[in-house]
Amino acid sequence: MAYLVLVRHGESLWNKMNLFTGWVDVPLSERGIEEALKAGELLRDYRFDVIFTSELVRAVQTAMLIMSRNSSGVPKIEHESGRMEKWGRVYGEHGKNYVPVYKSWHLNERYYGKLQGWNKDHARKVFGAERVHLWRRSYDVAPPEGESLKDTAARTVPYLREKIFPELEKGRNVLVSAHGNSLRSIVMHIERLTEEEVLRLNIPTGVPLIYEYREGKLVRLGYLTEEGFDNSLHLD
């Protein structure tokens, strides 16, 4: 038995400015930092064996801030190629109590293409509210030169199967720090949501969504809050 904990990163500076962010690599806002630290307090007593994040700094920051409140071990980013992979190896026994952190673009936010950097309200005025809503909330319609949620799932779900599930099968507890749309596509797969249902799925920032891995299946415990578990999927 093992745990899979999914956390959407805290508010970023561009979230605060109401801008389409996608793959633009901007950090957390002050509120986002507070959200990540609060998630860390909620997860203080959970032991993590491995962490997966996207390559974007807001997700990496969130994972690191969570682990600053956790005693599982020091989070250590695993560079898997180049000089950082070779020179970043640990040899001394006293440095081996760490939690490996794997970054991957497969967990990045949905790529918003030509919308990146646009203020969302201004985009509605220029392109029309209905078209922008379609780009944002449909399953298989992408913004100009960007990804749809379906496209996002085509990279996140294989990564879940090939990289994350094997860790759970070994009985290892996993933390995943990623983004609204990359996590929506993962939850869609886990929960077997329809294309219509996933459009109503809203994953809040900084609130851990916890699953228990039992005999090859993920069982939802729910969102972990100060009051305990909220088993609702928050389908608006």
- The residue with tokens 């199967």 is 161
Q: CB–CB of 50/100 below 8 Å? A: yes
CA distance 209 to 230: 9
9, 11, 106, 167: the catalytic one is 9
Q: Which of 11, 35, 106, 109 is catalytic?
A: 109
109 is catalytic: yes
Enumerate the active-site residues: 9, 109
